[in-house]
Chains A and B, each alone.
Chain A
Amino acid sequence: MFSRERKTPLAEWWWTVDRGLLGAFLLLLGVGVVLSFAASPAVAEAHDWGTWYFVIRQIAFAVLGGMLMIAVSVLPHRLIRVLAIAMLAGSLVLLLATLQFGEEIKGARRWLSLFGYSFQPSEAVKPAFAVVAAWLFSEWMVRRDMPGWQIATVLLAVIVAMLLRQPDVGQTALVVFTWGVLLFLSGISWWVIFGLAAIGLGGAYGAYLFFPHVTERIDAFLNQADSGVYQVEKAIGSILEGGWLGRGPGEAITKRYLPDAHADYVFSAAAGEFGILFCLLLVALIGFVALRSLRGAVQQNDLFARMAVAALASQFGMQSAINLMVNVNLIPPKGMTLPFVSYGGTSMLAVAVGMGMMLGLMRKRPEEQIATGLPAYRSALGQPT
């Protein structure tokens, strides 16, 4: 099937895709399923939905996500770009709809019910924006007369405006971070970078001042000695309960009182059952994915591919890092899932599409080398797209 002799599309995909990275993603999906057995039955039972409610869905979404990722990674660059634009447009419409018709859960309007399924458009907007903005920036870098970064910034402003209306500070931060990465890669001077960093800090302070739930969480984080946030306390308690080797599958107790043990706090719940050593392996796996895909970005000759891969990879890395830092109480809690591991249908599928696009963009393209007539390491210059 994957023979080199006959160039079937599947064989071509197999020999050009980054198989190490693909394996790591599938492993993460598998870990997510295993952890859902540990983390989600308690949550499901608390909702009276039957013990295996989340487990079954997690498996379904993992399979669906894996297939979606592979399907997207088969696409050529052009189609990936088209897909990203369509996805961005679609999710912007849905975001708008969410603001109008969304269900309010825990003080935020993030969910949209569509044909009996609830859907979180803010998850889908992230990878789509990363690819579209990367394209705009790379175009601007090649041809200065094309107002790429200005368009990207306007897009960002629209998305941020809608996300903050929900409000969803975590996703906002991630989208702004993605934009910042692209701006950084596009070669702006360090002075501008420091200036923007200052504005970012100011924005964070503004969020602290103007969004009550942000204020609350940060205050709680800063004063955790006297008034610990419930989730944080339970998350740390779960990690401590597990110790190095964990209590064993099904044995941990603290995770039963950990809200969102299946979603945002799946990492802490895993620590209680499988131990800190297992968690360290999971961090290593995430680090492998983030660093290997960024290294893949470095190797891309095509400027758009390089920018888009870097944006998607750093988005994945950043989202994981924020989730893990919340789990180990390094930063105040914010709604952020652990990509591929946490429960969450939209999140899982959106990440799958994003990573599929990344894998697709990273595929080796022999035609590039033929075009320049130079081996990859010599053609430092990207081909005009």
Chain B
Amino acid sequence: MTMTGAAELGTIALDGARKTRGNQTRTRIRVLMLFIAAALVLIVGKLVTLGGTDTTANIEGRALDEITATRPAILDRNGIEMAVDIRVPSLYAEPNRMVDKPGAIAAILSVLPDLDENVLRERLNRDKGFVWIDRELTPAQKDDILRLGIPGLDFVTESRRFYPGGTEASHIMGMVNIDNKGTAGIEARLDRDNVALLQDLGFARDRELSPVSLSIDMRVQHALRDQLEDALSRYQAVSAAGVIIDVHTAEILAMVSLPDFDPNAPTSFSEDWLDKKNQRFNRITLGRYELGSTFKTITFAAALDSGAVKLTDSFDARFGIRFGKYLIDDFHGKHRVLQVPEIYKYSSNVGTIKMMQTLGSENYRAFLTRMGFDDPLKVELPETIVSVIPEKFSEVGAATASFGHGLSVTPLHMAQAVAALVNGGILKPATLYPRTSAEADAIGTRVVSQETSARMRYLLRLNALEGSGTHANKLADGYRVGGKTGTAEKVENGQYVADRNLNVFASAFPVDDPHYAMVILVDEPKPENQQSGVTAGWNAGEVTGRVIARVAPMLGIRPDFAATVDAALVPPELGRPVVTTDKDSTF
């Protein structure tokens, strides 16, 4: 009994010891598994770190991506290249991969004999991963080098932005920086849209992107710029700018602001102009001006469209209007009772204020908003500025605003507004991309009625025939220009300076069937000669006329000299054509 018990006990004890030992080896094998797993995890970690290392990041301080990044070509509406990428092969070596350096030097010199042998030897003997051998080779030289079959030599295709037109469309193009990123103009806009994204994703490397077309017509752009340059010298103006838009689509056909710069040499942007800094900005979208009497066009449209004023109405313009200590009078006053078309034709401040007052200053302010003057420009340039228009007009504020003082807008705002007033009454935001009239209609808003638009065409044409636009009309004879001048005294240090004017001409042509609207600015013009004046008709108006005479044939507009064309513009309520009245006739 006890014997059996002891034997059993022994067996059990032995079993227990074995079991413990078995469990111990099992536990320790698991420790081994942990150990090996840890070693492998270390290796995986190191591999992942190596994978995250960016190897091709730099070539002498510049990212390879940036050197080779391509941008889409930019074309005008007729397919003429405005900006292209020039892609050139550049030869580099990786000395630490080269096997036979003396042989390589001899071979390279056989293809590129102009290289200095000593310099080449010194470069290849550096223990570096990268040295340039020669930049910007020809494709033939590249083929010859490749045919040598030397290990450790390779090419980078460098991209350079080139603007074949040079200064022609500088403000539209903008510029790119050394990394091929757009920093101004449509180039910056392209980046904001998608190019930078493509480059970051690596899609835009070493390959062509499909070109981008603009609404610009390079022929018109050139003619406009040429005439503005002519204006700078002819009138000794400090600056000049102009924009032409299609009234039905609001596409910008040409946009020039002088002084400008050469996008191929971006530093030219910051060069001084007439001893002043920062003069080379785009005055059409980034300049904000009191556009003077051109605003009367807006005021007339507001008054006529509301129905408060009819073309047949007359207003007393015999005396100036006094607001407290201010007296507002007409510049070339007739000092008599004027019919509405006459108020426009003679650019009567007094008559315009009275029309505005009949309309009501709040209605007038609301009309400015309707015409898009409060909205930021939708044009695809980063260089835009918002208008400065008082939220609510005071009595005197509304009065001055009716003839374009005390509120600042960009010339492009004015061009859009003129286009809307002549195209049948639909305001469409100006764009640099091509679009059809239907697409523009879809995003346009009706601002005045068809009838009002017809009356505005009549008034614009009337002014060109008999008012301040005669200079323009004479130069663009047959192309039926209609337009309104504006002469604004410039503000310096918060004061109006009487002898420094900003002259504007806002026009449309051919006014019987309007296609294009144009705004021309000439800043601080001097009289061309003894006989000529200094008001807008003499300079901005003349520039407009010359531009139309040049671009209208390109744009397919036939000259028409028939008097019936102008007669047809006269609205029915006027009964007899006002166009035939004598300039100095008295009532």
Contacts and interface: CB of A to CB of B under 8 A. Distances in A.
Given A307-B25, A328-B46, A328-B50, A381 B97 contact: no
Interface string A230-271: 000000100111011000000001101100000000000001
Interface in A304-363: 306-307, 310, 314, 317-318, 321, 324-325, 328-330
Interface in B40-65: 40, 42-44, 46-48, 50-51, 53, 55
B9 interface: no
Contacts of B23: 380
B21 to A, nearest CB: 6
B33 interface: yes
A330 B43 contact: yes
A181 interface: yes
A297 B29 contact: yes
A288 to B, nearest CB: 10
B30 interface: yes
A298 interface: yes
A160 interface: no
Interface stretch (A18-26, A86-94, A199-207, A279-287): A279-287
B22 interface: yes
A184 interface: yes
17 contacts: A184-B32, A186-B25, A187-B24, A187-B25, A240-B50, A240-B53, A253-B151, A271-B47, A279-B47, A290-B36, A294-B32, A294-B33, A306-B25, A306-B29, A310-B32, A321-B43, A328-B50
B395 interface: no
A27 interface: no
Contact of A236 (B15, B18, B50, B151): B50
A318 B97 CA distance: 33
Contact of A280 (B22, B25, B47, B53): B47
A174 interface: no
Contacts of A307: 25
Nearest to B24: A187
Contact of A317 (B21, B36, B44): B36
Given A240-B53, A240-B55, A243-B51, A328 B25 contact: no
A298 B30 CA distance: 8
A314 B36 contact: yes
A258 to B, nearest CB: 11
Nearest to A309: B29
Interface string A175-200: 00000010011110000000000000
Contact of A283 (B29, B30, B44): B44
* Majority secondary structure of chain A interface residues (helix, strand, loop or mixed): helix
Contacts of A72: none
B479 to A, nearest CB: 63
B567 interface: no
A141 interface: yes
Shortest Cβ-Cβ A-B pairs, 8 listed: A317-B36, A321-B39, A276-B51, A328-B46, A287-B40, A294-B33, A240-B55, A324-B43
A186 B48 CA distance: 37
Contacts of A186: 25
A33 to B, nearest CB: 22
A303 B28 CA distance: 13
Contacts of B192: none
* Majority secondary structure of chain B interface residues (helix, strand, loop or mixed): helix
Query: Of residues A244, A253, A297, A381, which shows the largest number of chain B Cβ atoms within 10 Å of its Cβ?
Result: A381
Contacts of B53: 240
Given A283-B47, A294-B29, A141 B97 contact: no
Chain A residues touching B, range:
35 or more
B51 A244 contact: yes
B37 interface: yes
B33 A295 contact: yes
B32 to A, nearest CB: 5
Interface in A355-385: 380-382
Contacts of A306: 25-26, 29
B54 to A, nearest CB: 9
B45 to A, nearest CB: 9
A241 B55 CA distance: 7
B358 to A, nearest CB: 75
Contacts of B29: 185, 294, 297-298, 306, 310
Contacts of A380: 19, 22-23
Contacts of A59: none
A276 B47 CA distance: 7
Nearest to B20: A187
A291 interface: yes
A287 B97 contact: no
Contacts of A318: 36, 39
B473 to A, nearest CB: 69
A74 B24 CA distance: 29
A276 B39 CA distance: 18
Contacts of B33: 290-291, 294-295
Contacts of A381: 15, 18-19, 22
A294 B36 contact: yes
Contacts of A294: 29-30, 32-33, 36
Contacts of A184: 28, 31-32
Nearest to B42: A330
Interface in B363-406: none
Contacts of A243: 51, 55
Contacts of B151: 253, 256
Given A241-B55, A279-B47, 19 more contacts: A184-B32, A185-B29, A239-B50, A254-B97, A271-B47, A276-B47, A290-B33, A290-B40, A294-B29, A294-B36, A317-B40, A318-B36, A325-B39, A325-B42, A329-B46, A330-B42, A380-B19, A381-B18, A382-B18
A321 B37 CA distance: 9
B50 A382 contact: no
Nearest to B94: A253
Contacts of B50: 236, 239-240, 276, 328
A361 to B, nearest CB: 14
